[in-house]
Amino acid sequence: MALSKMDIPRAAQHFLECAIEECERNCEFYCNPCHQRLCKQCRDEHVKSPENKNHEVVLYQQRKRQLPVKKCKIHPSKDVDMFCEECQIPVCSKCVTQREHRGHVFLDLEKNYAEKFADFQEEISKTQDYFLPTSQDLQKEIKKDSSEIKHIMDNIRTSMKTEGESLKRLVDTVISENMKQLDQIEHSLLEDLNTQDKTFDDYITYLNNLAKELHRCLSSTETQKLMSEKKPKIRSIPETTKPVTPGFTAGQYSKSDVTKLLGKISVTNNKAEKREIRPIESVYNTAMKPTHKQMKEDRKKSDKKQTMSLSASVTKVREFNVPGVDDVYHVSLDQSDRLCISDGARGNLVQTDLQGNVIQKIKTSGRDEGYHTVTQDRDLIFTDQDKKVINRITQDNNIPEFIKTGDWRPLSIHSSHINGDLLVGMRKDAEGKVTRYNKTGKELQNIQSDNKGQELYSEPHYITENINGDICTSDFINMSVVVVNKLGQHRFSYTGQEPRFRPYGICTDVLGHILVCDNFSNTVHLLDQDGQFLSLLLTQQQGVYLPSSVCVDDENNLYVGQCNTNTLTVYKYLQ
């Protein structure tokens, strides 16, 4: 019985074995009619048999799902293996002959089941990889907006109170100044009235004294003396003024005047902006998880790819020296006609043709990391960990600073062949992370820890992407290959076959294999995309010593560079 997706072993270094009895080799293929796992040798034997000549043998990842065995309710001795398109029910071969199904169209249930299974798996993947996380992100955004609304409202309340307190202070100041002015006017008026009052005190005293003197004259018996006295002239009554009191004009104001002083709440009439929903293509590429129909179409387009598999042995095609570098620590492919090669100590980065002829040479601060890559637009991108920037060399040879990475030192970089995103391995102090940027340099994603909060990276000094969107890094300090899916969820870590494992250059191929250099054991390891160890593809017995870089081109040629020589060797390992 075929294994479901959940049955496939996920742990690194675990073999999915061939189902043929007594064969313990690694499973690579699957016979759809027989529903049988096969290794390469057993596949060859299987298709040689005349009775199997029309059997569809495919890569294990492209297998059809086996139809569950179910007996017909009407004919219990028969298996349900067909589908009546008219009645929309599964039937057995005997049901087809019944009168109620006469003239109906019947479909191969197994074939349709496999297609439906693949379609539903795709929908599950979309739900888990896109719709669910996108909805969770939008929900987080809503909760964040709620917090921001409260914060904004509290700020408005504080501003309103501040404006009110400010106006109160101004009112108190104006009233205080008016009171002071009124006190001064009152003091001046009272002082003037006191002066007038004193004037009349003096005048009244004068009048009283005058009256006394006149009475004294009248009471005198000496007539002659009275007759001789002159009639007194009474002084005029002093003139005084009435006080002029101040008036008070009440302020003329309305509620709107106060509102102008204090400010008011403004509510925009603009239509609420719809939340941006990131397109499904940004996180889910259907080409990375093909349906059964798509896989069938792909097989029709490329018979070569359909039958492609690991060769029985690895063949050296050629080798050439690369002028301008001391050794070959990293190789990145520029389409199919150019290579970019860097050494480990001097920071030399050269661009060559496939014969090793230098096209251009650049001096960088790069070291023994995978610090350069070529984009889909053929721009050369390289990191500068000293300045903490990522540079881009355009077709007109300008070298502008493309991305600034803040406190993080960018070590390794890879341009995605799926969507053009840039994947960058970085380090700060003793921490490592992987950051995804889009083509314009906008930061999209940071990957630093697994779902248990454990740090994934220490020094991701080489990085690449697999055909299913997995992000693969070789970590020099952790001595492991760390693989996460496109959402940043940890899938597995591979720690080699020996107690010591020193991973350097890493790449993937058209079949989803992961190839990684082990600089300690002088080997190149081959893994499948689920982390299962397949073989030591190249060893010291094949002339490989201190391998540091690997790269597979569009023709499935494997380029291997070493850190003890500037010779680049080309191999064939797929057929």
Do residues 344 and 468 share a domain?
Answer: yes
Please tell me the distance from the alpha carbon of residue 234 to that of residue 210, in angstroms, as a whole number: 8
What is the three-state SS of 51-116?
HHCCCCEEEHHHCCCCCCCCECCCCCCCEEEEEECCCCEEEECCHHHCHHHCCCCEEEHHHHHHHH
Sheet holding 490-494, edge to edge: 460-465, 471-475, 480-484, 490-494
Residues with Cβ within 8 Å of residue 476, at least 6 apart in sequence:
458, 459, 461, 502, 503, 504
Claim to verify: residue 25 and residue 140 sit in the same structural domain: no
Residue 247 lies in a domain: no
Q: Does pLDDT of 433 surpass 90?
A: yes
Looking at the fold, whether 155 and 34 belong to one and the same domain comes out as: no
Q: End of a domain among 307, 322, 351? A: 307
pLDDT, tens only, 77-104? 888 888 898 898 999 888 888 888 888 8
Residue 138 lies in a domain: yes
Instruction: Give the number of other Cβ atoms within 10 Å of residue 88's Cβ.
Output: 7
**Backbone phi, then psi, for 180, in 5-degree steps?**
-65, -45
What's the one-letter identity of residue 104?
A: H
Instruction: Give the chain's domain count.
Output: 3
Provide the domain limits for residue 173: 105-207+277-307
Q: Which amino acid is at 563?
A: C
Identify the helix (H) or strand (E) that includes residue 527: strand 523-527
CB 61 within 8 A of CB 32: no
Six token digits for residue 70: 């179910």
**What is the DSSP secondary structure assignment for residue 328, as one 8-state letter?**
-
Tokens of 422: 């840039």
Amino acid at the residue 306: Q
Question: What CATH number is associated with residue 526?
Answer: 2.120.10.30
Distance CA 402, CA 446 (A): 18
Identify whether the C-beta of residue 240 lies closer than 8 Å to the C-beta of residue 197: no
Secondary element (H or E) of residue 273: none
Amino acid letter, residue 146: S
Sheet of 36-38: strand order equals 36-38, 29-31, 57-59
Q: Are 406 and 388 in contact (CB under 8 A)?
A: yes
Q: What is the pLDDT of residue 225?
A: 67
Structure tokens at 79: 């298996």
CATH number for 11: 3.30.160
The verdict on residue 44 lying in a domain is yes
Q: What single-letter amino acid sits at 275?
A: R
Within 10 angstroms of residue 324's Cβ, the number of other Cβ atoms is 18
Same-domain check for residues 303 and 332: no
What is d(CA 564, CA 525) in angstroms, rounded to the nearest whole number?
19
Last residue of a domain, one of 39, 63, 87: 63
pLDDT at 281 over 80: no
Give residue-wise pLDDT tens across range 292-346.
444 444 444 344 444 578 888 899 999 999 998 999 999 998 766 789 999 988 8
| 121 and 38 part of one domain | no
407 belongs to a structural domain: yes
Q: Compute the average pLDDT of residues 109-138.
A: 82
Cβ atoms of 426 and 435 closer than 8 Å: yes
Residues 6+ positions from 303 with CB-CB distance below 8 Å: none
Residue 415, CA distances (Å) to 147, 170, 491 in order = 37, 64, 21
Tokens for 503?
A: 């991973």
Count CB-CB contacts under 10 A for residue 233: 6
Last residue of a domain, which of 307, 325, 350? 307
Express as a percent the part of the chain with pLDDT over 70.
90
Same domain, 59 and 125: no
pLDDT for residue 395: 67
Whether residues 173 and 302 fall in one domain: yes
Q: Which residues pair with 432 in a beta bridge?
A: 427
Answer yes or no: do 372 and 450 share one domain. yes
Q: Are residues 461 and 369 part of one domain? A: yes
Averaged pLDDT for residues 414-421:
90
Cα 550 → chain centroid:
28
How, if at all, do strands 480-484 and 514-518 pair? unpaired
pLDDT band at 5 (very low <50, low <70, confident <90, very high): very low
Return the SS3 of 165: helix
Average pLDDT, whole number, for the chain? Answer: 84
**Residue whose structure tokens are 């109906």:** 104
Instruction: Using alpha carbons only, give the angle 485, 490, 496 rounded to the nearest 5 degrees.
Output: 105
Q: Residues with Cβ < 8 Å from 220, sequence gap 6 or more?
A: 226
Please give the distance of CA 319 from its chain centroid, rounded to a whole number: 41
* Residue 307 pLDDT: 56
CB contact at 8 A, 372 and 415 = no
Placement of tokens 């380090």 in the chain: 427
Count of positions (residues) in the chain: 575
* Helix (H), strand (E) at residue 465: strand 460-465
**Weakest mean pLDDT among 10-19, 26-35, 174-183, 228-237:** 10-19
Q: What is the pLDDT of residue 538?
A: 94
- In a domain? residue 233: no
465 and 561 in a common domain:
yes
Residues 142 and 26 in one domain: no
pLDDT at 2 over 70: no
In a domain, 95, yes or no: no
**Three-class SS state of 351:** strand
C-alpha 335 chain-centroid distance:
27
pLDDT score of 450 = 86
Q: Looking at the structure, do residues 452 and 524 belong to the same domain, yes or no?
A: yes
For the cut 90, the answer to whether the pLDDT of residue 383 exceeds it is: yes
CB 463 within 8 A of CB 473: yes
Q: What SS3 class is residue 453?
A: coil
Query: Does residue 73 form part of some domain?
Result: no
Give 54's pLDDT tier (boundaries 50, 70, 90). confident
Is 543 inside any structural domain?
yes
pTM given for the model: 0.52
